[in-house]
């Protein structure tokens, strides 16, 4: 049991080191080279525009469920009008960025890993090196920029749609007073809650791009290797988002604390 654990731990450290090298190369490329605007815009369209429907649907469903569950619990203490504040703060700082990140991981991260893995298997990446084109400059950096920029925008959409959906459910289905609902949202939702959510979304977008590109660039040969890389990318990025969310919450909350 112990040798197996040691083998897995060494493998984890090796992958962490390789991912760190990829991060350094991407940062160096961003500093010294100008990325292709065409590639960045193409990735922005793929990551941002084409992900709107799934992210907004997730935000709306989450807002409605959170509103209903909060109302049922607050109804026991006659605090129904405070439902809006809970939904607003929860969607802005926690649920919005996390769920948007997970949806992007499932849709965009898997696609990136599969695309780059297929290029690795078919030796297209080796062809790029033959043409004196660094794969990080041409493949990783545009995806990193697109994910980092699109994730906060998609998160903002998910938060707005979620709060609007919760308002519709709370007012028209649960019978909460509309003015009190909006007044509590305005009173208890601090700008720092929105800022925390946007910072988290930016970090999550970078995590999705880096982990997915790394898994794609390092996949083994064959169709099985591409499938394994795609699965590993989704799992690794999702776990990273969930774990890092805790540390970001603690750090950012103390940072923005009055």
How many other C-beta atoms can be found within 10 angstroms of the C-beta atom of residue 99? 20
What is the C-alpha to C-alpha distance for residues 151 and 22, in angstroms, rounded to an integer? 21
How much is the mean pLDDT over the chain? 89
- Structure confidence at residue 2 (pLDDT): 54
- Structure confidence at residue 57 (pLDDT): 94
- Structure confidence at residue 221 (pLDDT): 78
Confidence at 231, pLDDT banded by 50, 70, 90 = very high
Which residues touch 32 (CB under 8 Å, ≥6 apart)?
Answer: none
Question: Which pTM value belongs to this model?
Answer: 0.91
Q: Residues 48-66: pLDDT tens digits?
A: 999 999 999 999 999 999 9
Q: Sort 16 into a burial class: Cβ within 10 Å, 0-12 / 13-18 / 19+.
A: exposed
Pick from 199, 49, 119: nearest CA to 207: 199
Q: Where are the alpha helices (DSSP H) in the chain?
A: 2-32, 37-47, 52-74, 83-90, 96-104, 110-121, 124-130, 135, 141-168, 178-188, 191-217, 223-255
Higher pLDDT, 11 or 92: 92
Q: What is the DSSP letter of 177?
A: -
- Structure confidence at residue 1 (pLDDT): 53
What is the C-alpha to C-alpha distance for residues 157 and 160, in angstroms, rounded to an integer? 5
Share of the chain above pLDDT 90, in %: 55
Confidence at 223, pLDDT banded by 50, 70, 90 = confident
């Amino acid at each position: 049991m112990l040798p197996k654990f040691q083998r897995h731990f060494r493998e984890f450290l090796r992958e962490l080191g390789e991912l760190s090298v990829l991060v350094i190369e991407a940062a160096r490329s961003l500093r010294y080279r100008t990325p292709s605007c065409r590639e960045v815009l193409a990735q922005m369209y793929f990551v941002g525009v084409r992900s709107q429907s799934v992210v907004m649907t997730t935000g709306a469903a989450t807002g409605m469920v959170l509103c209903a569950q909060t109302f049922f619990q607050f109804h026991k203490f006659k605090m129904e009008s405070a439902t809006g504040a809970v939904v607003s703060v929860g969607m802005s700082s926690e649920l919005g960025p996390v769920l948007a990140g997970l949806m992007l991981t499932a849709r965009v991260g898997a696609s990136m890993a599969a695309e780059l893995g297929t290029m690795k298997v078919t030796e297209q990446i080796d062809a790029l090196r033959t043409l004196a084109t660094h794969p990080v400059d041409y493949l990783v950096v545009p995806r990193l920029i697109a994910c980092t920029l699109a994730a906060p925008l998609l998160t903002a959409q998910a938060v707005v749609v979620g709060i609007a959906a919760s308002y519709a459910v709370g007012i028209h289905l649960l019978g909460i007073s509309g003015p009190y609902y909006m007044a509590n949202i305005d009173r208890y939702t601090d700008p720092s809650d929105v800022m925390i959510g946007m910072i988290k979304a930016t970090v999550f977008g970078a995590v999705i791009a880096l982990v997915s590109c790394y898994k794609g660039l390092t996949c083994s040969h064959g169709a099985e290797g591409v499938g394994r890389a795609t699965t590993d990318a989704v799992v690794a990025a999702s776990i990273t988002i969930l774990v890092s969310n805790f540390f970001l919450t603690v750090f950012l909350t103390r940072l923005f604390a009055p």
